[in-house]
């Protein structure tokens, strides 16, 4: 996929009017705070139907304006084109309305975007995948799995819904019979999600090591799915996981009732990241963590392209900061090719002659 044209009205600080992009490298040059990341955010919105940094949709509307709109025209490898459109408006009582359309057809749910807008973003916030809390690593896996596998999407949505309803039942001190029913549903949907996350982790690990080899990294990286319901070093079948899950739920029921929250399940799992046998989350240097984060995002791109059979649009927000020249050169070599790439930078950079360069100042985006 490539993004051919972008247009917006009242989206953060971006100026209204169409912008056209090149099919390969697109460099966005401008000082900090001028709108470079706002543009990437608006494009990336159509991968999941939400911002990667805003807490609420209303934050995307320019201050004192009643609405914002975004349109993105994209072309896919088979030659088809699609227009993705977003509209957000302020309503009475502080409410916010949002609609997402593809070629003029309203999507009933955000989940209907799954797999339709293959884009990968890397920015400073993605360092949380390596050094942040477990929830960031769980979200990373689910973002990939739900985009490529409808069964993964169903498992993730079912588990979240069941867990929320079970938590409400715990707080309400539901009867033993009611809790037995919720336990069964939690174990069934949770076991499915654990298996799918475990299998996806293995695939992403292979892609990450392949990217490390391409960069001639001196480090050997590995990752594993960490769950209290799995026996490390074994590939258990579903029946074994279900049995252990059910036993653990029963064992902790009294504590769960007292606290009013579910304490067992994949919502408490993590992704272990190792470098030469050491836990990068705890012992890696800042440079090593940043390198691993880049490799993981490149692995995400490679996996998505294989599963979706569509080149991803790659969005890199100040990705070359804090790397030495050798790593930067190797990364630039990896980025050459048929896919479309957006790179932001606060200062002019050495770019290929075929790159499309745009300057960003005060929300205005103009060709160099």
Better pLDDT: 66 or 335: 66
What is the per-residue pLDDT for 305? 96
- The top-level CATH class assigned to 131-309 is mainly alpha
Residue 264, pLDDT above cutoff 80: yes
In the chain, the percentage of residues whose pLDDT exceeds 70 is 95
Residues of the chain with CATH 3.40.50.300: 1-118+313-368
What is the per-residue pLDDT for 280? 93
Distance between CA atoms of residues 117 and 350, nearest Å: 29
Topology annotation, domain 1-118+313-368: Rossmann fold (3.40.50)
What is the overall mean pLDDT for the chain? 92
Work out the average pLDDT over 28-54.
Answer: 95
What is the per-residue pLDDT for 330? 67
pLDDT for 289-338, tens place per residue? Answer: 888 998 899 899 999 999 999 999 999 998 776 666 766 776 677 667 77
Nearest to 66 by CA among 16, 10, 13, 18: 10
pLDDT for 175-221, tens place per residue? Answer: 999 999 999 999 999 999 999 999 999 999 999 999 888 878 878 88
């Amino acid at each position: 996929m490539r993004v051919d044209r972008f247009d917006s009205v009242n989206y953060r600080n971006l100026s209204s009017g169409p912008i056209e992009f090149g099919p390969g490298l697109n460099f966005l040059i401008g000082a900090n705070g001028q709108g470079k990341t706002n543009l990437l955010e608006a494009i990336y919105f159509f991968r999941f139907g939400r911002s990667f940094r805003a807490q609420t949709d209303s934050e995307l509307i320019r201050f004192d304006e009643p609405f914002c709109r975004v349109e993105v025209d994209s072309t896919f490898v088979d030659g088809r084109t699609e227009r993705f459109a977003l509209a957000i408006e302020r309503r009475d009582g502080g409410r916010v309305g949002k609609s997402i359309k593809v070629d003029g057809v309203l999507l009933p749910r955000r989940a209907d975007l799954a797999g339709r807008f293959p884009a990968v973003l890397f920015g400073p916030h993605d360092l949380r995948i390596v050094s942040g809390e477990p929830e960031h690593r769980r979200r990373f896996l689910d973002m990939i799995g739900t985009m490529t596998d409808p069964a993964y999407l169903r498992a993730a949505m079912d588990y979240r819904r069941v867990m929320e309803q079970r938590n409400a039942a715990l707080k309400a001190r539901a009867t033993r019979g009611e809790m037995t029913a919720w336990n069964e549903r939690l174990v069934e949907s949770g076991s499915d999600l654990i298996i799918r996350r475990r299998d996806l982790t293995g695939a992403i690990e292979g892609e990450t090591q392949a990217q490390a080899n391409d960069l001639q990294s001196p480090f050997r990286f590995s990752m594993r799915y960490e769950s209290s319901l799995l026996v490390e070093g074994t590939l258990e079948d579903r029946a074994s996981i279900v049995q252990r899950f059910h036993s653990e739920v029963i064992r902790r029921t009294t504590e769960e009732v007292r606290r009013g929250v579910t304490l067992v399940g994949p919502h408490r799992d993590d992704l272990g990241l190792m470098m030469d046998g050491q836990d990068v989350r705890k012992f890696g240097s800042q440079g090593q963590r940043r390198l691993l984060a880049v490799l993981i995002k490149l692995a995400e791109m490679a996996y998505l392209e294989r599963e979706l059979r569509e080149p991803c649009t790659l969005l890199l927000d100040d990705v070359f900061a804090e790397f030495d020249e050798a790593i930067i050169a190797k990364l630039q070599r990896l980025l050459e090719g048929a896919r479309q790439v957006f790179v932001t930078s606060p200062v002019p950079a050495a770019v290929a002659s075929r790159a499309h360069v745009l300057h960003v100042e005060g929300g205005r985006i103009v060709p160099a």
